[in-house]
């Protein structure tokens, strides 16, 4: 009997150690998830600020260039300037479009990673809850009268009783 008690105690200690490791891992995953969310929010904020600044600069530039364009309405120089600006605008648009696509792809990857981390955390919590239920001490008669164990728990207890009793 003392050996069985020692074996049971060691088993319970190992299970508690594993449970603590799972809890620590879950906590570190939650911290990582929070960091990812914060990084994504900061990038979005930065992108919004850059876009607002570029819009303001473009608006100021357009208002500054309006009189110049009005004066050069009939000249060839105007056509050259417009062609150059159009070319530059197309280059900028292509560059910004590629950057936007890269940022959207990165955001999508981050969302997928976040989803995977949340799924992993949920699974770990579920396993921890099951481990808690499996290692919970038996209930007293007063407790069992208030809440009957589930069918799954009853089956598990019967299996444990059959495997622990000698043939």
The domain spans of the chain are 2-136
- The pTM of this model reads 0.33
Q: Which residues contact 16 (CB under 8 A, 6 or more apart)?
A: 135
For 115-126, the DSSP string reads HHHHHHHHHHHH
Tens digit of each residue's pLDDT, the chain (167 residues): 688 888 888 889 999 999 999 999 999 999 999 999 999 999 999 999 999 999 999 999 888 888 777 776 667 776 888 899 999 999 999 999 999 999 999 999 999 999 999 999 999 999 888 888 888 766 665 555 554 555 555 555 555 555 554 44
Give the H/E segment covering residue 161: helix 151-164
């Amino acid at each position: 009997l003392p050996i069985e008690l020692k074996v049971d105690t060691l088993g319970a200690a190992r299970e508690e150690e594993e449970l603590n490791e799972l809890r620590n891992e879950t906590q570190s995953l939650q911290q990582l998830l929070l960091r990812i969310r914060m990084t994504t929010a900061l990038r979005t904020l930065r992108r919004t600020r850059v876009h607002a600044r570029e819009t303001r600069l473009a608006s100021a530039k357009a208002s500054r260039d309006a009189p110049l364009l009005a004066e050069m309405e009939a000249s060839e120089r105007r056509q050259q300037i417009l062609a150059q600006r159009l070319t530059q605008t197309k280059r900028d648009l292509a560059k910004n479009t590629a950057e936007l696509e890269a940022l959207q792809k990165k955001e999508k990857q981050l969302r997928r990673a976040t989803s995977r981390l949340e799924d992993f955390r949920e699974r770990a919590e579920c396993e921890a809850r099951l481990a808690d239920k499996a290692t919970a001490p038996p209930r007293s008669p007063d407790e069992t009268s208030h809440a009957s164990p589930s069918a799954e728990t009853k089956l598990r207890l019967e299996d444990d009783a059959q495997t622990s009793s000698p043939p």
